[in-house]
A and B are shown apart, each in its own frame.
Chain A
Amino acid sequence: MTGTPDLLELRDVSVRLGGQRRWLRPSVAPIQAVAAVSLRLRRGEILGLVGESGCGKTTLGRTILGLQRASDGEIRLDGEPVGDLSPKQARKRRKDIHYVHQDAAAALDPWWSIGRILEEGLAIQGLRSAAERRARVDHMLQAVGLEPGTRRRYPHELSGGQLRRVALARILVLRPRLIVLDEPTSGLDMSVQATVLNLLLELRGRFDLTYLFISHDLSVVERLCDRVAIMYLGRVVELAPTARLFARPRHPYTRALLAAVPRLDPHAARLSAAIEGEPPSAGRPPPGCVFSSRCRHAEPECREVMPELQDEAGHAVACRRWRDILPDDRHALAAGACDGPKPARRLGLAQ
């Protein structure tokens, strides 16, 4: 490892939600939303955090931001722990990390003009000069591809794609280093999505940003992220560089996820269901491996101990059996996910 520490490091971070007994309220059974997650974010990379609804990816994002306290484990920014600080210190320490909401329209105040929305963060950070605030806002509007006149407009006057740009600009004026993007393209049409994603790539280079990209859209993750972490029921079950993960997925869940993406290619189409049933409740995870209750390859031993995330040549997987099931997994083969380095070519229609 090099001398400079990673931008962000999570060590065995767990988050339990609920379970408190409050006055006059029934106690809620605690839910292990995030279980012993260890991740590193390197400077300038885009790490994709993928999983289905309820897998804990948003909770993990909130924990990194400090909106949710970790029950266990440690979060380090630039090698220094950020947990257990006083609120004032924590706010100072974490000002490098910002968050872009999933639903930009809901996150922006409909009564405020775009200019006022963008200046608010600067005012909170203590930038007193109105002229300078305005200059920085105008500069940033331009950087995200909006006209300077947008500052006088209101959220309802803008399209979905433009609102995402505003949401980005609002964060970027604060000069963050790490941005947690929570499903930034959900609800956008494919043709608009592309412009937002291209903008994200451009901004990363221009402002030296690092992204934690939370998404369930594998096709976007495949083309945008440098590395991908797959989450299931609060745990990271696989973590690898994007190209490798998509070319040779190891965990049965990752394979099922990849096989479930509807494909244009008629030869890949019409597969049977890759996995059956639905994820169990995070309040009552199955014993042993969390995926064992739905895994076609599960053995009795799988139901006893949760396998650790084990790194092998930069490709980490939490599965006892990934070596055994690699060759004959029909679904991974049928989905074209086994061979070929370039996704576009292996998914092409020409056959």
Chain B
Amino acid sequence: MRAVATLSEPTPPEPRPTEPILQVRGLKLSIRTDEGLAAVLDHVDFALAGGHILGIVGESGCGKSTLVRAIVGILPARAMIEAGHIHFLGEDLLGLSEAELNGRVRGRAIGFVPQDPYLALNPVFKVGAQLLEIMRWHAPDRGRKNARRDHRMRLVELLRRVQLPDPEAALERYPHQFSGGQRQRLVIAAALACAPALVIADEPTTAVDVTTQQQILDLIRDLVEEFAFSMLFVTHDLGVVAQLCDDICVIYAGQTVESGPTRDVLAAPNHPYTRALLACHPERSDAFVGIPGVVPSPFRPPPGCRFAPRCTYALAVCPQRMPYLVGGPAGRKVDCVLAEIGAAA
């Protein structure tokens, strides 16, 4: 087992501005498949401070989407959580029943913005009916007198807020009648319909063009400020994180490798993987730089640090055990043996 060196109530150099609203600790998750047991997540640790936007960054197959599904409890039936906790507003989500999750958490306390808004919206129902259904199930004032009328008014206001043209008429239209950017605005409004404390967005801008992406990011930033929710923003694009997120958490092959304030991490990454990832970014190199080797298969993950086989700084100890989580100034954390021995150049 891994000893958590500085995570258990450390004495940070400067106090965090706010309590974490969401804290994932030592999450380990496997999925049974026909080909064997896939160790998808292994030691995922991060905390999302209240009112902050935390960017979860990793390449495809690193377990980002599984992590998101674990938080809202929509994992496939063959998934097993082997260790860890997901603390949200003071309670462990992993201990809640399906009824409790549906009644209090999903759609209500946690809103979700999916990657592909076209798949998330039902093509045969008007968007108004679909968005109102969310409120009928999850809104705090559901069942009250005139609730439906209130919901409709709130929804129109919300659609206006996400800058959807002609919100009244939009309720009567079908998903295919909206452009990609407009559909993204619709699902953002759907996520915010019941005033959640936390919104999870899973790559919400990968399907849209760059100018639309910029508009959506601007909108999200304004909404976070105005509605005072916290956000978990899953992406593979470091540029998007740099523009939007207060904090960043980098995941490699199901392991958290580094987290901290975005600016600090991007300016001076501590983990070799974060450095390699940044070196691939067009702003940091003229030539096309990749990372040698391939992401390990979750069926046969390398022992110890999963990045060790591709790491240019790997030591003999790296494949033998997991590194200890090392805390740094300003809430920075890094999972690397080099950081342990203070040798990270």
Contacts and interface: CB of A to CB of B under 8 A. Distances in A.
Interface stretch (A1-9, A115-123, A144-152, A343-351): A343-351
B60 A189 contact: yes
A260 B213 contact: yes
A52 B242 contact: no
Interface in A146-184: 159-160
Contact of A260 (B180, B210, B278): B210
Interface stretch (B70-78, B118-126, B146-154, B282-290): B282-290
A222 interface: yes
A257 B211 CA distance: 6
Interface stretch (B29-37, B88-96, B232-240, B337-345): B232-240
A262 B212 contact: no
A218 B179 CA distance: 22
Interface stretch (B1-9, B18-26, B40-48, B214-222): B214-222
A114 to B, nearest CB: 18
A272 B182 CA distance: 19
B19 to A, nearest CB: 26
B289 A343 contact: no
B311 interface: no
B281 A190 contact: yes
B83 interface: no
A191 B293 CA distance: 10
A265 interface: yes
A266 to B, nearest CB: 5
Interface stretch (A87-95, A273-281, A297-305): A273-281
Interface string A173-204: 00000000000000001111111011001000
A278 B213 contact: no
| Prevailing SS type, chain B contact patch | helix
B214 A198 contact: no
A276 B215 contact: yes
Nearest to B163: A276
Interface string A223-257: 11000000000000000000000000000000011
Task: Specify which of A190, A201, A219, A344 lies most central, judged by the most chain B CB atoms within 10 Å of its CB.
Answer: A190
B242 A269 contact: yes
Interface in A254-311: 256-257, 259-266, 269-276, 278
Contact of A343 (B60, B214, B286): B286
Contacts, number: 117
B181 interface: yes
B253 to A, nearest CB: 12
Contacts of A343: 282-283, 286
A159 B294 contact: yes
A277 to B, nearest CB: 9
Interface string B268-295: 0000000011101111111111110010
Contacts of B98: none
A274 B278 CA distance: 26
A20 interface: no
Nearest to B268: A349
Contact of A262 (B182, B213, B276): B213
A280 to B, nearest CB: 10
Given A189-B236, A194-B288, A265 B283 contact: yes
Contacts of B316: none
Contacts of B312: none
A21 to B, nearest CB: 23
A342 interface: yes
A220 interface: yes
B244 to A, nearest CB: 8
Nearest to A281: B179
A263 B283 contact: yes
B291 A191 contact: yes
B243 interface: yes
A201 B287 CA distance: 11
Contacts of A266: 242, 263, 266-267
A36 to B, nearest CB: 23
Contacts of B218: 272-273
Contacts of A271: 214
B210 A349 contact: no
B59 interface: yes
Contacts of B276: 191
B238 A189 contact: no
A276 B284 CA distance: 29
A237 B59 CA distance: 35
A270 B225 CA distance: 14
A219 B217 CA distance: 19
Interface in A51-73: 52-53
B172 interface: no
B69 to A, nearest CB: 20
Given A189-B60, A194-B280, A216-B210, 11 more contacts: A52-B209, A190-B281, A191-B280, A193-B280, A194-B290, A198-B288, A224-B288, A261-B210, A262-B243, A263-B239, A275-B211
25 contacts: A52-B211, A53-B209, A159-B294, A191-B276, A191-B290, A194-B280, A219-B282, A257-B210, A260-B214, A261-B210, A261-B239, A263-B242, A264-B266, A264-B284, A265-B283, A266-B263, A266-B266, A270-B243, A273-B211, A273-B218, A343-B282, A343-B286, A344-B285, A344-B286, A349-B266
